[in-house]
Amino acid sequence: MLSYQHIYHAGNLADVQKHALMAWVLDYMTAKDKPLSYLETHAGRALYDLSSEEAAKTGEAAAGISIAEAWFDADHPYRRALAAVRTQFGPDAYAGSPLLAAHLLRAQDKIHLAELHPGEADALGDAMAMYSAKIHRRDGFEMAQAVCPPAPRRGVLLIVPSYEIKTDFDRIPGIIGKLHKKWNVGVIALWYPILKDGSHLPMITALEFQNLPKTLRHEVRFPPAKDKHRMIGSGMFFVNAPWGLEAETQSLSGKFDAL
């Protein structure tokens, strides 16, 4: 039974890192007039209300996007997409990764989103109703294996597990290796938490050991949302990282360092 709900964490500093980098990647990839595929294994509900009781309870958005939005120029793709979502859904709306992507992608692009939690999948369907996204109510890793290589072949896969299932850390390197074999041109992006006890580290070592092409690892640190929380930072690991992404990660690191 899945209990994780992203509404408690939407717009936190981990989302800022992940969503800012993904927005940059999609903006870069859509600059070329060639269609692409966008896939997500763990989509979430896509539209979050930051004035909700759940979001207010943790205060993570207040310590996240509320502070961090000013880090980005008004024409940064993350800010542009957030502004468009607010215009559409109201001042407290925050876009999860599927909605951010939908705002940055074009009519010729294809979107595949997996979400296993029934309530989150319903909400995802509602939030994405005006976009021609395919919603897969199934395990996201199975969806990715089934859809890859996607058509169009050019594209991006985002993997953001909630790591509720502890074996995720062990099996993700193998899953990514297999997906890359099936889809060698795909940009694969994995989000992971940086944990106080270092229990995420074997996964990173195993990912790096595979010698996948054009890998890029970016990590930021921030104070835990609560003293007893294990997460002390956020990481992204890319395969086939687009040209220019490294400079973007360096610029983002500078912003987190100033926190």
Summarize as ranges the residues that interact with ligand SAM (CB under 6 A): 2, 4, 6, 18, 40-44, 96-97, 114-117, 120, 139-140, 160, 162
- Minimum CB separation of residue 43 from ligand SAM in Å reads 6
Cβ proximity to ligand SAM, 40 vs 248, nearer residue: 40
- In a 13 Å sphere around the CA of 25, the CA atoms on its Cβ side amount to 31
Which residue, judged by CB position, is nearest to ligand SAM in the bound state? 96
Neighbours of 96 (CB within 10 A): 26
What phi-psi label fits residue 244: left (phi over 0), alpha (psi between -120 and 50 degrees) or beta? Answer: left
Residue among 71, 15, 9, 63 nearest 253 (CA): 71
Place of tokens 């997500």: 40
- Minimum CB separation of residue 50 from ligand SAM in Å reads 13
- Minimum CB separation of residue 33 from ligand SAM in Å reads 27
Torsion angle defined by CA atoms of residues 69, 245, 46 and 124, in that order, rounded to the nearest 10 degrees: 170
Cβ proximity to ligand SAM, 141 vs 256, nearer residue: 141
Helix (H) or strand (E) holding 187: strand 187-195
- Minimum CB separation of residue 254 from ligand SAM in Å reads 23
Cβ proximity to ligand SAM, 41 vs 240, nearer residue: 41
Cβ proximity to ligand SAM, 18 vs 218, nearer residue: 18
